[in-house]
């Protein structure tokens, strides 16, 4: 994926999440305003009913003008213009608030025209004891009113927030998701940076190796062709060892470069129809040149099976699997390749008698740079790229590959190749 494309996806994702978050916050603010209006309307209706009840049984009539005034969000005054008893007022307030489903705490006070001051009534709480309630000691007086009372909702904001807890939970969840997204993007970019540094290092390192290695190969081949070297059996053997090991090292370097290139840009497969059984037989002949003692056999009822694949990469895939099976064997290598056809899926099983792999590690063998210790030398072989390469080729062709330990010893690697009849 190009960096510009990745940046575009990151920016679009951030814009989308931030837009959703902003919209959610705006909706939450609007919902809070609506809840505030709803509480105000219910309080207004309840207080109006209280005023009506206080007029019942008297010779006075309710004023034509609305007796209920909202002074602030949590403070109301009600002009009764008639004498009333505090106990009756408290009873009516509780009854009407309950009827209107106003469940928050409230406190009230009444104006005493004789002393010209507000007399505190009581703090009514539905959840706390009176001793625990914080009472408001100040209720302001209002001009031009003689008989009136005031009601305050000290916990109105808390009450509104509680009634909107779903909105706040949703907003908090969105903020949490945004933080996770930002953290994930940060880790992704950090990982990409490390990956690019690793790839650049591998490319530089392998290219630096190739120049002196080419010189070693040219020089060693020239030495091996000289008569004094040919006549001295020991020197000729040493020269061939240098050539063989240089070729082996060159092969490792080419493999590393191929993997680094594949990480930067996907491998291109040139597919063509081939006889998979003949291809495996050719690879077996090549592997036996390197390991003459290896015993490799094919078990199949199929005589001819055509498959569309890339010859070069498919050959390398089979070669790597056989090469690994021989390398990780502490006795004479015995490898069985079983080929079967089941429900439009060609299965190729590579079963060896090697040292096997610990059950906890078998899932990692296809990871890049993962290597298994060789019991023969108590060391690890190769660069851990062979099976990673195999996995990449399988993924490109939508093949499935799995590894599992055998009951006695060794492992079995199975290729599942879907095909069209």
Q: Which residues of the chain have pLDDT under 70?
A: 1-4, 57-64, 126-138, 203, 206-207, 252, 255-267, 369, 371-384, 421
* Whole-number Cα distances in Å, 203 to 181, 197, 316, 381, 382: 32, 10, 21, 21, 17
Enclosing H/E stretch for 243: helix 233-264
Task: Give the list of residues 6+ apart from residue 192 with CB closer than 8 angstroms, or none.
Answer: 6
Local structure of 149: helix, strand or coil: strand
pLDDT (0 to 100) of residue 176: 84
Residues 248-280: pLDDT tens digits? 777 767 766 666 666 555 667 788 898 998 999
* Spatial separation of the C-alpha atoms in residues 36 and 39, rounded to whole Å: 5
* Spatial separation of the C-alpha atoms in residues 66 and 79, rounded to whole Å: 9
The full set of domain ranges for the chain reads 3-163, 166-264, 271-418
pTM for the model stands at 0.47
Instruction: Find out whether 322 and 316 touch, Cβ atoms under 8 Å.
Output: no
pLDDT (0 to 100) of residue 226: 85
pLDDT (0 to 100) of residue 128: 58
DSSP summary character for residue 417:
E
pLDDT (0 to 100) of residue 59: 64
Read off the tokens for 357. Answer: 């792999």
DSSP summary character for residue 58:
S
Residue 411's CB is within 10 A of a number of other CB atoms, namely 22
Residue 7's CB is within 10 A of a number of other CB atoms, namely 11
DSSP summary character for residue 99:
H
Residue 31's CB is within 10 A of a number of other CB atoms, namely 16
Beta strand 106-112 pairing with 271-275: unpaired
* Spatial separation of the C-alpha atoms in residues 16 and 159, rounded to whole Å: 32
**Tokens 């895939």 belong to residue:** 317
* Spatial separation of the C-alpha atoms in residues 250 and 214, rounded to whole Å: 9
**Distance from the Cα of residue 327 to its chain's centroid:** 38
Any idea which fold 271-418 has?
Answer: Heat Shock Protein 90 (3.30.565)
Residues 24-70: pLDDT tens digits? 778 878 888 888 888 888 888 898 888 888 877 666 666 667 888 88
Could you tell me where the beta strands, DSSP code E, fall in 15-114?
Answer: 68-72, 75-79, 106-112
* Spatial separation of the C-alpha atoms in residues 139 and 109, rounded to whole Å: 7
* Spatial separation of the C-alpha atoms in residues 354 and 337, rounded to whole Å: 14
Beta strand 345-351 pairing with 411-418: antiparallel
Read off the tokens for 391. Answer: 């996995």
Rg of the chain over Cα atoms, rounded to whole angstroms, equals 43
**Tokens 């009113």 belong to residue:** 145
* Spatial separation of the C-alpha atoms in residues 224 and 236, rounded to whole Å: 6
């Amino acid at each position: 994926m190009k960096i510009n494309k990745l940046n575009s996806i990151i920016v679009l994702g951030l814009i989308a999440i931030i837009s959703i978050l902003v919209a959610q916050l705006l909706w939450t603010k609007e919902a809070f305003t609506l809840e505030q209006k709803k509480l105000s309307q219910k309080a207004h209706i309840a207080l109006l009913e209280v005023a009506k009840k206080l007029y019942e049984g008297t010779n006075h009539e309710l004023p034509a003008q609305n007796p209920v005034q909202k002074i602030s969000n949590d403070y109301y005054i009600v002009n009764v213009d008639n004498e009333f008893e505090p106990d009756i007022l408290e009873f009516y307030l509780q009854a009407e608030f309950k009827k209107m489903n106003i469940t928050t705490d409230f406190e009230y006070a009444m104006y005493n025209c004789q002393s010209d001051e507000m007399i505190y009534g009581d703090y009514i709480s539905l959840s706390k004891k009176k001793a625990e309630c914080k009472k408001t000691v100040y209720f302001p007086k209002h001009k031009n009113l003689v008989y009136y009372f005031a009601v305050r909702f000290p916990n109105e904001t808390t009450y509104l927030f509680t009634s909107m807890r779903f909105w706040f939970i949703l907003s908090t969840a969105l903020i949490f998701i945004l933080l996770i997204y930002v953290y994930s993007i940060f880790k992704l970019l950090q990982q990409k940076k490390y990956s690019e540094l690793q790839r650049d290092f591998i490319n530089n390192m392998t290219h630096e190796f190739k120049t002196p290695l080419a010189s070693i190969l040219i020089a060693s081949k020239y030495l091996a062709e000289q008569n004094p070297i040919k006549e001295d059996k020991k020197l000729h053997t040493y020269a061939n060892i240098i050539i063989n090991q240089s070729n082996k090292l060159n092969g490792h370097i080419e493999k590393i470069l191929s993997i680094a290139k594949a990480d930067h840009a996907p491998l291109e497969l040139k597919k063509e129809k081939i006889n998979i059984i003949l291809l495996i037989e050719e690879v077996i002949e090549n592997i036996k040149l390197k390991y003459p003692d290896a015993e490799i056999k094919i078990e199949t009822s199929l005589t001819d099976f055509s498959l569309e694949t890339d010859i070069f990469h498919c050959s390398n895939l089979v070669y790597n699997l056989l090469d690994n099976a021989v390398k990780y064997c502490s006795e004479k290598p015995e490898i069985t390749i079983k080929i079967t056809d089941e429900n439009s899926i060609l299965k190729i099983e590579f079963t060896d008698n090697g040292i096997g792999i610990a059950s906890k590690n078998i899932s990692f063998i296809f990871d890049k740079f993962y290597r298994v210790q060789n019991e023969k030398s108590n060391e690890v072989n190769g660069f851990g790229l062979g099976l990673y390469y195999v996995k990449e080729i399988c993924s490109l062709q939508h093949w499935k590959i799995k590894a599992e330990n055998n009951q006695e010893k060794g492992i079995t690697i199975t290729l599942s190749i879907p095909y069209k009849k």
